[in-house]
């Protein structure tokens, strides 16, 4: 099993499950409420940890009551937080999530008042025993320095970058990692209607992945072939929050195990589909075996 480091954020997620999505200016009683740890990078690590990997997180932790929920959850998943920067004041990023019970869809309002993890923080992490580094596509200038540092000093250490949202200058990062993981939202924001149109428009020499919700996912492999896996819908759609993060974990797990792209894509879709059939990530892999 591998040592996997992810750089990104942890959030407090306040999730209201509702019978159906509210109309504007209406009042609705939630069926239930949960407060959980969220954040793309830490979600992905939670799943990777269940798959047997040694996971560590590089991000910001603020000394305030909400960070305890986050720390307790990361500890439960055996995620090492010794690379995090701890700050005495501020507020952990918080996501207010409305989860529609009928459709499993999630709508998110995000609030943050928290600095980003910097290149200086990243440079303090010992990377000699790390087998894979995963980045969230945020904090562009600093992430660029981190990726350049890896390329220069650890050229054989594979790394992946998730591009979830359009952000100014984000395309400056695309040359640097070994694997690019694009979201449907990002691809559509560029005006593409299909993943394969987007993938064939790219000139980069690397593995490029596009997750596409209930249609599964597409990839452009190193030989410039388009590869597709359909989705694996669960018998009942319960919760799609974190499907993309689970997909990323399934993919990184497969690639770190040297599984070829077509199978890696299928593994990622199977695991993400399985996740859509349950709330959260707890015991996600207990009754689920990925093929090797
Ligand atoms: P997110 O919205 O969390 O970024 P996506 O919607 O792109 O994630 O989905 C990521 C992966 O999760 C997809 O490639 C697919 O394999 C799986 N997935 C998402 N929604 C469904 C669904 N309704 N049914 C089955 N699988 C799904």
Predicted local confidence at residue 112, as pLDDT: 87
Contacts of 149 (CB under 8 A, 6+ apart): 119, 122, 123
What is the DSSP track for 203-226? --SSEEEEE-GGG-EEEE-TTS-E
Q: Is residue 170 pLDDT above 90, yes or no? A: yes
Q: In this structure, which residue's CA is closest to atom 6 in ligand 1?
A: 213
Q: Is residue 288 pLDDT above 80, yes or no? A: no
Q: What is the dihedral of CA 61, 66, 71, 73, to 10 degrees?
A: -140
Which residues approach ligand 1 with their CB closer than 6 A?
183-184, 211-214, 216-217, 231, 233, 237, 240, 243-244, 247, 269, 272-273, 276
Q: What separation in Å is there between the alpha carbon of 64 and the centre of ligand 1? A: 33
Predicted local confidence at residue 174, as pLDDT: 97
| Ordered strands of the 226-229 beta sheet | 79-80, 54-58, 3-7, 132-136, 159-163, 179-182, 207-211, 217-220, 226-229
**20, two tokens:** 């159906």
Among the listed residues 256, 286, 285, 255, the one whose alpha carbon sits nearest the alpha carbon of residue 271: 285
When pLDDT is cut at 50, 70 and 90, the band that residue 287 belongs to is: confident
Q: How many residues does the structure list for the chain?
A: 292
**Digit-coded pLDDT (tens) for 123-163:** 999 999 999 999 999 999 999 999 999 999 999 999 999 99
Q: What separation in Å is there between the alpha carbon of 237 and the centre of ligand 1? A: 11
Average pLDDT of the segment spanning 35-50: 95
Predicted local confidence at residue 250, as pLDDT: 97
Average pLDDT of the segment spanning 42-65: 96
| Residue extents of the structural domains in the chain | 3-276
Average pLDDT of the segment spanning 259-280: 96
Give the SS3 label for residue 171.
helix
**37, two tokens:** 């740890």
What pTM did the predictor assign? Answer: 0.93
Predicted local confidence at residue 292, as pLDDT: 66
Q: In this structure, which residue's CA is closest to atom 2 in ligand 1?
A: 244
- CA 268, 269, 272, 278 dihedral sign is negative
Give the SS3 label for residue 163.
strand
Q: Is residue 89 pLDDT above 80, yes or no? A: yes
Please tell me the CATH code under which domain 3-276 is placed.
3.40.1190.20
**Digit-coded pLDDT (tens) for 208-252:** 999 999 999 999 999 999 999 999 999 999 989 899 999 999 999
When pLDDT is cut at 50, 70 and 90, the band that residue 278 belongs to is: very high
Average pLDDT of the segment spanning 12-18: 94
| Percent above pLDDT 70 for the chain | 99
């Amino acid at each position: 099993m591998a040592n996997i480091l992810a750089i990104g954020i942890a959030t407090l997620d306040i999730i209201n499950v509702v019978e159906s999505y509210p109309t504007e200016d209406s009042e609705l009683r939630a069926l239930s409420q949960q407060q959980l740890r969220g954040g793309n990078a830490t979600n992905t690590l939670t799943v990777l940890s269940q798959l047997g990997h040694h996971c560590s997180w590089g991000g910001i932790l603020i000394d305030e009551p909400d960070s305890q929920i986050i720390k307790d959850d990361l500890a439960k998943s055996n995620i090492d937080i010794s690379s995090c920067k701890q700050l005495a004041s501020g507020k952990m990023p918080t996501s207010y999530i409305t989860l529609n019970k009928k459709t499993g869809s999630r709508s998110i309002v995000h609030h943050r008042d928290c600095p980003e993890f910097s290149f200086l923080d990243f440079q303090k992490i010992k990377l000699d025993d790390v087998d894979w580094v995963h980045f969230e596509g945020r904090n562009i200038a600093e992430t660029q320095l981190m990726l350049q540092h890896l390329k220069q000093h650890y050229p054989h250490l594979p790394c992946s970058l998730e591009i979830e949202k359009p952000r100014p200058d984000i395309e400056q990062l695309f040359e640097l990692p070994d694997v690019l993981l694009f979201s449907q939202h990002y691809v559509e924001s560029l005006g593409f209607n299909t993943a394969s149109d987007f993938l064939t428009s790219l000139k980069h020499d690397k593995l490029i992945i596009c997750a596409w919700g209930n249609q599964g996912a597409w990839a452009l492999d190193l030989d410039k072939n388009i590869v597709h896996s359909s989705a694996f819908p669960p018998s009942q759609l319960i919760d799609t929050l974190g499907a993309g993060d689970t997909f990323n974990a399934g993919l990184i797990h497969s690639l770190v195990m040297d599984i070829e792209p077509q199978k890696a894509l299928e593994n990622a879709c199977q695991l993400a589909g399985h996740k859509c059939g349950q709330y959260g990530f707890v015991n996600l892999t207990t009754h689920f075996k990925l093929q090797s």
